[in-house]
Every structure is written in C-alpha cells, then in structure tokens.
Amino acid sequence: MRSRALPGRGQGQSPSLSSACGASHQESQNVERLQNKVAVITGGCSGIGLATTELFLAEGASVLVADVQDDRGAELEARFQGRVKFRHCDVTSEADIAGAMQAAVDHFSGLDLLFNNAGAGGSPLMLEEMTGEAWDRTQSLLLRSVALGMRYAIPHMRARGGGAIVNTASIAGLQAGFARIAYSVAKAGVIHLTKTAAAELARYNIRVNAICPGYILTSIFTASTGISGAAADGANAALRQIAPHAQPIHAAGSPEHIARACLYLICPEAEFVTGTHLVVDGGMTIGPRSSWDPEAPSAIRDVLVKARASSTPAV
C-alpha cells in the first residue's frame, strides 16, 4: 500500500527542510510514514478516531482499537484482517486501559504510538447545578483517561527505545464558550497534561503533543446529548448545513482534517516537536465572528460607523 503525500509538502519545499525531517521529498512520497509501527487508538470506532485508524493503516501501522463499541470493533477487525485488533476498553477504567496497552504488545509485539482520543460531551450541567459525581465522571472520561493511557503506554514505549503520543484536546480547552464547563476544563487539563508529560518523557525519547479540533462533523453532538433516531438524523442534517459557515475557512471540519494533523504530530517528520498543541479549527479561534465575517453584528463597529457618518470633516 502506498502512502499519500502530506498536505503542504509540495514541489517548492526547500532541500534543507527535507533533510531536517530525515527524508528527501521523493522518499517521503514513497515511504509509508508509520511502517512497522504499532499504535493504540482509543475511541477508534467512530469519528476522529476511526479516520485516524484508517490513515495510520494506510501509512503502514498496525492498530489496536480500544473502544466500547464491540460491534464496530468486530467490523474493523474483519475489514482490516490482521492489521487491526479490537479490544473492549472503557477508558474510565484503569484496568481496561492497562489491558489495552498490554493487548497491543501481546498481539503486535510492541507499542510505539498512542492516540488518546476517546471522549464524549461530558456533563451538560452549568456550574451552579454541578454535582461532584457529574464533575468526576467527565474528568474521568476526558482527562484521567489520557493521563492513565500515557502511564500504561510508557513501559512498553521505553522497551522499544521511544515513542510518540497525541492527545485529543479541544478549542474548548483554550477559550470559554465552546462547550459546557466540565468538558472545557477537562480539555484545558489535557493541554497542560500534554506539556508536563512531554517534559517528563523526553528523557525516554517519547514525544507528547495535543490536537485542538474545532467544529468537526461527527456523531459526538447528538450522541452526547442523548438525541437518537429521526431526531438525531434531523439534527445531524442541520449541523451539516451550518458547518461550512461556522469558521473563516468555509468548509465543514471533517474527521480526516484531524487525522492528518495527528499523523503529522505522531510521525517521524515531527521529531523535533513535543509539548505543543496544534489547533485545527478552520480559524474559528482567530477572533470574534465580527473579525472575519463582515455580516456579523459588532456593536462597537456600528457605533463608530454611525459616528463617522455624522461627524464634521476636519478642516
């Protein structure tokens, strides 16, 4: 299977950058970037995790998919025989996480790459209604799971002489207003966890980075709000319609956009990148909507336009 070129690796790339990445442009077109690598992908049965599983496979990796969707896991194993192993793993369970990392080693003889990605919307409660139980459940799903995923991957990666980890955060971890409070705080935690883990793990030749997706069309929105059946179909159709207009780049954010960013961070071309977070949001966090959409209301701009129109020109 031949790999696809990474976006941005065009004809004009300088030879010095090519050699700094460890491969010439010609070589990078022909070599599978993850050849002989073993990856664990949590939440690999759907959305971002599924797109990343498919891309890692296309780039030569073997993938252990750790998820709670057993039917979809079985379908993946049948579709990619011998290259995908499914392991039932609820990432809120420490034993399940440890078991998934061990299963990758048992099945594929080692572990090189980890994409800590499983997640859902978390508690919908506002702070004034929050309970300790709801808070803990969200942090366990979205933050503790990432810490423990890394913790149980470390010994196996050290045994291979190093590795690379990508954690899924969110733009909700960077700015208020994109999600509810428990989810947003967990994702902010993932960004800082990534930095501190990168500092600890550099000595073992393990790189750790995070991705902050913007608005990506997956089932997370309806699944997390408990909407199902025809109502979910209707909501998903409406979400698809607004997606291209939600950010400065007028295209719907797709799981493949995030998979390609994850591939970059995890592959050897990013050998000098650790402890950072990559925002992949079509520009959604550049500034308020009025900064990129001339049709969007801006109270300050309206006041100034009116004032300029009525002011006496300076002599």
Ligand X SMILES: NC(=O)c1ccc[n+]([C@@H]2O[C@H](COP(=O)([O-])OP(=O)(O)OC[C@H]3O[C@@H](n4cnc5c(N)ncnc54)[C@H](O)[C@@H]3O)[C@@H](O)[C@H]2O)c1
Question: What's the rounded Cα separation, in Å, for the pair 283 and 58?
Answer: 28
Region from 44-52, 126-134, 153-161, 272-280 binding ligand X, contact rule CB under 6 A: 44-52
Return the bridge partners of 85, or none: 64
**E strands of the chain, at which residues?**
38-42, 62-67, 84-88, 113-116, 163-168, 206-213, 277-280
* C-beta of residue 274 within 8 angstroms of C-beta of residue 198: yes
* C-beta of residue 62 within 8 angstroms of C-beta of residue 111: no
For residues 91 and 166, which CB has a smaller minimum distance to ligand X in the complex?
91
215 lies in the binding site for ligand X (CB under 6 A): yes
Which one of residues 29, 69, 205, 285 is an interface residue with ligand X (CB under 6 A)? 69
Which one of residues 28, 52, 168, 274 is an interface residue with ligand X (CB under 6 A)? 168
| Binding characters for ligand X, 13-42, by CB under 6 A (x = yes) | -----------------------------x
Rg of the Cα trace of the chain?
21
For residues 48 and 267, which CB has a smaller minimum distance to ligand X in the complex?
48
183 belongs to the catalytic site: yes
Region from 63-71, 129-137, 201-209, 231-239 binding ligand X, contact rule CB under 6 A: 63-71
For residues 135 and 215, which CB has a smaller minimum distance to ligand X in the complex?
215
123 lies in the binding site for ligand X (CB under 6 A): no
Residue 272: alpha-carbon gap to chain centroid: 20
167 lies in the binding site for ligand X (CB under 6 A): no
Question: What's the rounded Cα separation, in Å, for the pair 306 and 228?
Answer: 48
Question: Which residues does the annotation mark as catalytic?
Answer: 183
